[in-house]
Amino acid sequence: VKRRRKRMRKKKHKKMLRRTRHQRRK
């Protein structure tokens, strides 16, 4: 369960980083 939680958290962080990068470029 801990590994699955870490993977989900990593995926969420990646999505947030991508959104911030797109906003900065715009």
1-26 b/e with 16+ CB inside 10 Å = b? Answer: eeeeeeeeeeeeeeeeeeeeeeeeee
Domain span at 20? 1-26
User: Rg for the chain (alpha carbons), in Å?
Assistant: 12
Provide the domain count of the chain: 1
Residue 26: what pLDDT? Answer: 57
* Kind and range of the H or E run holding 26: none
Residue 8: what pLDDT? Answer: 61
Residue 9: what pLDDT? Answer: 63
Tokens of 12: 């969420």
- Condensed to tens digits (0 to 9), the pLDDT of residues 14-26 reads 666 666 666 666 5
Q: Is the pLDDT assigned to residue 6 strictly greater than 60? A: yes
Rounded Cα distance, 2 and 12, in Å: 15
Q: Is the pLDDT assigned to residue 4 strictly greater than 60? A: yes
**What is the pTM assigned to this prediction?**
0.17
Among 14, 20, 22, 24, smallest CA distance to 6 is for: 14
